[in-house]
Structure 1
């Protein structure tokens, strides 16, 4: 009897496991076949949609754009669309909390951005050194910022009652700012989106919007789709893109046009989100990053300081991309003053040194612990982002170039000279600054292969013991950042785990005690992209007697801070944070021999 019971239990568990494996995921319900065969495309048809090099050249020259996420949702939440606790067609996960739809979907009736001034926005964007704006004409929640004739859920039915998209288009044309419409194909408000009558009711509804946005507002330079976990044929993407190229000659499109295309490269460029993108990608890309912790207006969120935004811009430009920096306007229609202060500093830097970024392409030197490089013609710009520990020689060592250096000069203060020694290019400085060096080369470096500058292999987690002053919960212990696959230096890294101390920790610290002496050359630090909040910190190293010695004092960490050590043997390394504006969230603290 006991064996029989065990057998039944085994059969039940097995069948239950099979049933669970066969059970469709949440996103599976939003994926279905095309209406008819005309919605599917061949590889040749997909190639017809790519922008030419001439059409996308201005975009590659621009390097900086401003993303604007906005909407009535800010009256109740700081999470656009995802703050709505309703069904999420096209998404990979269901909503578990948020504002009830009956409340969220009626917030537009109180939305009155009476201080909105499109001309002021465009002037600010130009002051910040940006060349284009991407504006959320419609996000996933379905609210539209234009005078749509097929829905009441629009800006026209708010107390404000005026077409925001029309004003933005007119102001952009007048100011010479390029304009993209962001348009979400999934729509969590429309009852037929990705449901039974999707092709009969929703698709015509969406096409009316698209035709209006790209035929009634003058020149539109690009489109930023956001397809979530859907297929391209569900939006009839091929025919829509063909129409866009007819209505707006030269228009460029991002990659979020739906999965399932015959060729891997969708759209004209890739869009890594809340990540600085890859260091050596096979095509152009645009990193979408937020100025705070959220895409929408986040009044209590941490604001990225100018220093880290500049570092991100340099890293992105040096590795083949644009920075699309998001600012969320407030309910009055104005950009947040504290965010503006930091972005204006970025604009001032661009006024002085923009020629080393704008109109350039990624440099022959691949990004590494030194920083990043850009190039134009026979000019190569070395952007030094690396910081130096105490008593460390201020010099950058790179592989020798495959062509002769005709001249070398410092664009910023601090450069002394260069030398070629033992197959290496050595740049000498007299100050530990954010240096830019201009190298005039005998030949255009475009004709040569890019050069790897650093094999980023950190000391293995088996070779040190992690300890922290405190941790918020078991998922925020110091060890979690070393359990993430691929936790090495890379602009493409997008970590989901971090060390976070308790809020009542008065002296937060994270320590690595090495099992044996290590000759550390570089330390890499990063914060969670949504929480660049450290404002005062030190790095200490442990000597053979167990004493901790301060070797670096810093103010900001941000993303990918590299600190060069002198290479002497040490027995441990420690991060101490003395001042922070929000919760500390460290995603990387790696040592390299």
Structure 2
């Protein structure tokens, strides 16, 4: 994933235009597809019910506290800031930096890695599914692949003797046992593979450093390598719900990974698999994944905003984490527009989640214990938002979510234009048992909040009133 704030800002307008563009039309029965149209629709409905997921970017890069993989790309200078110790210590020499980066597997030894603690943290946050990096663009595999020695279970990695060395298996098993659907992040690009970045020539961009159309045999070896790794994941690591493919530049015509064959193979082993071929479009991008942003308005297809809790996807010492208030408001904003939110935290080099991130996760979970009814298994309802009030719905029930300012208490009344309570409908404040009084006033609904509710408010950051709506 791409983590530069300035880089993302520069691309923001283009990203929004791409997000709002219609998906290419396709039929699930077209040649090469491998999942029944009705089954895919059911799976995507199921996915949309989950709403809130947990993502972790973790790998050898965590030892340097640098951005994951991207500093290896010579032209992507944004990924090597002048305050990055590993860059400065190597005299800002890109070849020396790359050589030492690709040797980080020999010092990666996360002795405190315990996936049960990660599960506990995700549960405490109220998260409902997980997506974990099996391999990022740098090519280091966190599973026991037979396709390369650049893996955590290889003899030159000190962690290989640990009983939990096959990290992906440990993570998937622990989360699955706790009832979490499993998502496998996998980078299609691989900058360690000699069939992607040929070591006989300089590699300066994120793309292959040779003409793949003129050297089809070499590219064919890379395709075989990628298919082999994905087949290992879908056959040896239990049920997988989402195959989350990154590296969107790997697409036809010059980087044809043969997605028809890859998807058919993967779904032969995992028939219910949702495939996310990020940014490529077409029938294998089953849902879209706006990165580090929330779309300005609801989108006409299934989507998931992938956001970092801190400034970057990977672990960074003294990272600046978003406040609990901001994170809850982001969750509400995404869900009220019809999307899912997957929130990323990067474990540290020892395999532990940072204390500040754990605190944020617990606090989000406390809010969801009171207000989860307004988030999970909901759908968007127009007008989506009116001032400080966002809306979600579940069947005929509407949740009006009052987004309080930082430090603001539960107000005396909550008013909004939009879905109105049905005549005779009870209006409830989540976390407070008695029904609330309400009235219509000049096209708005005004809900009165009694003193006893304000004296012992049920939560912080955002407050939810629910009612059966007129006309739904």
TM-score in terms of structure 1 length: 0.61
**SS of the residue 1:296 aligns to:** coil
Q: Deviations over 1:299-345 (max 9, x none)?
A: 11111121111111111111111110001001111111111011111
Q: Deviations over 1:253-292 (max 9, x none)?
A: 2241635x4xxx7522110111123432101211111111
Query: How far, CA to CA, are the matches of 1:171 and 1:417 in structure 2?
Result: 46
Question: 2:50 matched to which residue of 1?
Answer: 62
Query: How far, CA to CA, are the matches of 1:249 and 1:48 in structure 2?
Result: 8
Structure 2 counterparts to residues 27-426 of structure 1, below 5 A = 44-45=30-31, 49=35, 52-86=40-74, 100-157=97-154, 158-161=157-160, 162-193=165-196, 194=208, 195=210, 196=215, 197-232=217-252, 234-256=256-278, 258=280, 261=282, 267-387=285-405, 394-399=413-418, 401=420, 404=423, 406-412=425-431, 417-426=437-446
* Greater share of residues in helix: 2
Question: 1:5 matched to which residue of 2?
Answer: none
- Whether the 8 Å contact between 2:122 and 2:361 is mirrored in structure 1 is no
**SS of the residue 2:188 aligns to:** coil
Question: 1:515 matched to which residue of 2?
Answer: none
Question: 2:20 matched to which residue of 1?
Answer: none
**SS of the residue 1:156 aligns to:** coil
C-alpha displacement of 1:249: 1.6
**SS of the residue 1:435 aligns to:** strand
**SS of the residue 1:250 aligns to:** coil
C-alpha displacement of 1:435: 2.0
Question: 1:473 matched to which residue of 2?
Answer: none
Distance change in 2, residues 1:275/1:198 (3 Å)? farther
What RMSD over aligned residues (CA atoms) do the two structures have, in Å? 3.0
C-alpha displacement of 1:402: 9.6
Query: How far, CA to CA, are the matches of 1:308 and 1:230 in structure 2?
Result: 34
Query: How far, CA to CA, are the matches of 1:64 and 1:418 in structure 2?
Result: 31
Q: Deviations over 1:352-408 (max 9, x none)?
A: 221221121123431342232111122110011154999x98542304649656221
C-alpha displacement of 1:434: 2.4
C-alpha displacement of 1:106: 0.4
The structure with the larger Rg is 1
Question: 1:22 matched to which residue of 2?
Answer: none
Query: How far, CA to CA, are the matches of 1:42 and 1:62 in structure 2?
Result: 25
Query: How far, CA to CA, are the matches of 1:402 and 1:333 in structure 2?
Result: 49
Query: How far, CA to CA, are the matches of 1:94 and 1:335 in structure 2?
Result: 26
**SS of the residue 1:58 aligns to:** helix
- Whether the 8 Å contact between 2:125 and 2:365 is mirrored in structure 1 is yes
Distance change in 2, residues 1:176/1:77 (3 Å)? same
Distance change in 2, residues 1:240/1:381 (3 Å)? same
- Whether the 8 Å contact between 1:178 and 1:221 is mirrored in structure 2 is yes
Structure 2 counterparts to residues 420-569 of structure 1, below 5 A = 420-429=440-449, 434-441=462-469, 445=472
C-alpha displacement of 1:47: 6.7
- Whether the 8 Å contact between 1:412 and 1:437 is mirrored in structure 2 is no
**Structure 2: which 5+ residue stretches go unaligned?**
1-24, 82-86, 88-93, 197-207
Distance change in 2, residues 1:55/1:201 (3 Å)? same
C-alpha displacement of 1:52: 2.1
**Structure 1: which 5+ residue stretches go unaligned?**
1-40, 446-593
Query: How far, CA to CA, are the matches of 1:86 and 1:280 in structure 2?
Result: 37
Query: How far, CA to CA, are the matches of 1:87 and 1:442 in structure 2?
Result: 56
**SS of the residue 1:374 aligns to:** strand
Instruction: Flag the structure with more relative contact order, 1 or 2, with Cα contacts below 8 A and sequence separation at least 6.
Output: 2
* Greater share of residues in strand: 1
- Whether the 8 Å contact between 2:33 and 2:263 is mirrored in structure 1 is no
Q: Deviations over 1:428-485 (max 9, x none)?
A: 4466972211012355x2xxxxxxxxxxxxxxxxxxxxxxxxxxxxxxxxxxxxxxxx
**SS of the residue 2:70 aligns to:** coil
